[in-house]
Structure 1
Amino acid sequence: MNDNDHADETPQDRIAKVALYLESVKARMPPEQFETLRQAVHEMAHLIADGHEGFLETGDRKDFTDDVQKEFLTVMAIMTTGRMDHQVVDMPGPDGSPGYAVVTQELANDPTGLAELRDKIHHWAAEREAIDTKLDGIARASGIDTDH
């Protein structure tokens, strides 16, 4: 199946795929983790439907475990692409912190491609951190409170 195979897909088709996938997750995930996943998916769906950028704050939530994160990423990939043939792979951050990426099956099985993706993400993160540091400095120099 290629990307064009999903071109005629309706939002209802994607919702049906998400519902099917969530049913399979519900059957294999502990109820409390599934409820956390369900709530996160519900919140993100509303953010997207309302035209907001999809950014979900998980903070220090202990219930947003690695398993919940991976399933959440899978559901969001299905919701946004309509595809169910992707994989979630470990993609540690520049500091070694745990992280994940949603990739095609082909890329998931390509160690060189994954290494290139990781390098791109680390480069982007370093650029983003440098920009944030500059903006915080400008804000402090301007007397703007930068405490979040």
Structure 2
Amino acid sequence: MNTDGDDTDLLDAYLRATLARLGPAGFEAVIRAADATCLLLADGQSAVLAGPDGAAFGSDLQREYLALLAVLITGRTDHLIVALPSADGASGWAVVEQHLTRDPKALADLCTRIGDLARDSVRTGTALAQLWRAS
């Protein structure tokens, strides 16, 4: 857990480090994506936790986007981002608590469950879209 008493200082330090890692263009892309997601969530809408499509928002920026959302939502920086490889070779990311890294089996089980849920969601979405078009 963070020991910083002032969340503003924590966020400011995190954003400065992110800017240093990504450079201005990458930083702006991540901030814009996170801002759009936060606006959707604040309005009570569901938000797909994904950045813009295309090579300009590649895997590294997707990871940074998710990490920023985790900091904004939890107010902490002690989470970890782990890769979630899928059967089609694409990678996704998950935010996990640090204690899971001490138990590789629990982490693997969690990643499997997340992958299964994601595949189920895609199948459900596809089925609903087909029903919608058919009606």
> RMSD over aligned Cα, in angstroms?
2.7
Q: Residue 89 of structure 1 aligns to a residue in which SS?
A: strand
Q: 1:141 to 1:32 in 2, by over 3 A?
A: closer
Query: Does residue 83 in structure 1 map to residue 76 in structure 2?
Result: yes
Q: Structure 2: which 5+ residue stretches go unaligned?
A: none
Q: 1:130 to 1:52 in 2, by over 3 A?
A: closer
Q: Which moved more, 1:123-132 or 1:94-103?
A: 123-132
Q: Residue 81 of structure 2 aligns to a residue in which SS?
A: strand
Contact conserved, 1:89 with 1:108, CA < 8 A, in 2?
Answer: no
Q: Residue 99 of structure 1 aligns to a residue in which SS?
A: strand
Contact conserved, 2:50 with 2:62, CA < 8 A, in 1?
Answer: no
| From 55, 64, 81, the counterpart of 2:48 | 55
Instruction: Report the AA paired with residue 115 of structure 2.
Output: H
* Number of corresponding residues: 134
Superposed displacement of residue 57, structure 1:
5.7
Superposed displacement of residue 73, structure 1:
0.9
TM-score scaled by length of structure 2: 0.79
Equivalent residue for 2:127? 134
Query: Does residue 71 in structure 1 map to residue 64 in structure 2?
Result: yes
Residues 103-140 of structure 1: per-residue CA shift (max 9 Å, x gap): 11111343211210122123213322332343234224
Q: Distance in 2 between matches of 1:104 and 1:25?
A: 20
TM-score scaled by length of structure 1: 0.73
Superposed displacement of residue 30, structure 1:
2.2
Q: Which moved more, 1:38-47 or 1:101-110?
A: 38-47
Q: Distance in 2 between matches of 1:131 and 1:51?
A: 22
Q: Distance in 1 between matches of 2:49 and 2:109?
A: 27
Equivalent residue for 1:31? 24
In terms of Rg, which structure is larger?
Answer: 1
Structure with the larger helix share: 2
Contact conserved, 1:18 with 1:75, CA < 8 A, in 2?
Answer: no
| From 93, 102, 106, the counterpart of 1:113 | 106
Superposed displacement of residue 76, structure 1:
0.5
Percent identity, aligned pairs only?
37
Contact conserved, 2:78 with 2:98, CA < 8 A, in 1?
Answer: yes
